[in-house]
Amino acid sequence: MKIVNLICCFCLLLMGIVAISQPTPVLAQGENNEEELQITTKYPKIEVTSGGSAEFEVELKLTSESGSEPRLFDLTATGPKDWLVYITAAYPKDKRIASVRVSPGLGVGEKIIVNAAPSYWLLPEPGEYPIILEATSGELTSTYELTVVVTAKYTLNLTSPTGLYNTSVTAGKDNYFSIDIENNSSATVDNITLSSSKPEEWAVDFSLDKVDSLAAGDYQTIDVNIKPPPKAIAGDYLLTLKASGSQASASDISIRVTVKTPTVWGWVGVIIVVAVIAGLLVTFRRFSRR
């Protein structure tokens, strides 16, 4: 009888130990209710030239331990100051959205497009610019950082400050014409040299034939001395001016140059004509007397 009682006690003890080691139903239910939103993209960094725009294709995937009810997520995307940042559907891309419904348990999540571009008047300096995407549904929030890598945009212009691309000059004398070198880039342009294509025997000199560096948005005015040879024939000629830097070259500009003969040579010509006419009259009178 004592042996039977000992066996019963031992069995009760084992049952109690097993019961204590099992997790409670409340903890298991809590684990099954966990949800998580994953935000991913193949290309978290996109490189653009200054002033350009970037498009990030982003995927939102919802995982849930229990249930398959979709959740509506509010979407926001923020970027640097004076940048235009907005979200569109993956298709059609022209439809801007502020929220998206995501269903759990799918192999492929919901895809959206995050668009980022500086304002039309802004040329950002080279560097990395963060774009923050946030998706929120109740207490469930997920954020993701995208990056726009901006590289320099180089644009060098050669212009006339007066807007005129023609000038009159006197043969054999110094004649001056002004030009502007404009750096419309987003970064400095270095080692800018000036040159010309000119008619034969002409002299074209620049007040400054090399600019070591020109900052973004800055300009440099340069005087050009145009000197045709003394015996240049009066008329119109074409002169081409050029500017070239280490990072960019400006488009050539053509100047129409009208050459005038010096006043003294004009008087000389008049005297010669008068002398010829006088000689002809004298000759005519002599022959008429005979």
- Comparing C-alpha atoms, which of 168, 167, 126, 163 is closest to residue 148? 126
The mean pLDDT value for 205-214 works out to 96
CB 239 within 8 A of CB 226: yes
What is the per-residue pLDDT for 258?
A: 97
pLDDT given at position 91? 87
Give the model confidence (pLDDT) of 77-125 as tens digits. Answer: 999 999 999 999 998 888 999 999 999 876 778 999 999 999 988 899 9
Angle (CA) 273 274 278, round 5°? 120
Run of H or E residues at 102? strand 99-102
**DSSP notation for 171-197:** TTS-EEEEEEEEE-SSS-EEEEEEEEE
| Dist CA 62 CA 34 (whole Å) | 11
- The predicted-structure confidence for 236-289, as pLDDT tens digits, reads as follows 999 999 999 999 999 999 999 999 976 555 555 557 766 777 667 666 666 665
- 210/189 Cα distance (integer angstroms): 12
Q: How far apart are the first and last CA of the chain?
A: 185
Return d(Cα 288, Cα 219) in angstroms, integer: 73
pLDDT, mean over the chain:
85
This model's pTM is above 0.75: no
pLDDT of residue 249: 96
What structural domains and CATH numbers belong to the chain?
35-151 (2.60.40.10), 156-262 (2.60.40.10)
For 160-190, the pLDDT digits (tens) are 999 999 999 999 999 999 999 999 999 999 9
Q: How many CB atoms lie within 10 A of CB 88?
A: 16
Q: pLDDT at residue 27 above 60?
A: no
Q: What separation in angstroms does the CA of 206 have from each of 109, 171, 243?
A: 64, 18, 11
pLDDT band at 23 (very low <50, low <70, confident <90, very high): very low
DSSP for 131-162, please give it: EEEEEEETTEEEEEEEEEEEE----EEEE-TT
pLDDT band at 19 (very low <50, low <70, confident <90, very high): very low
3-state SS, one letter per residue, for 196-260: EECCCCCEEEECCCEEEEECCCCEEEEEEEEECCCCCCCEEEEEEEEEECCCCECCCEEEEEEEE
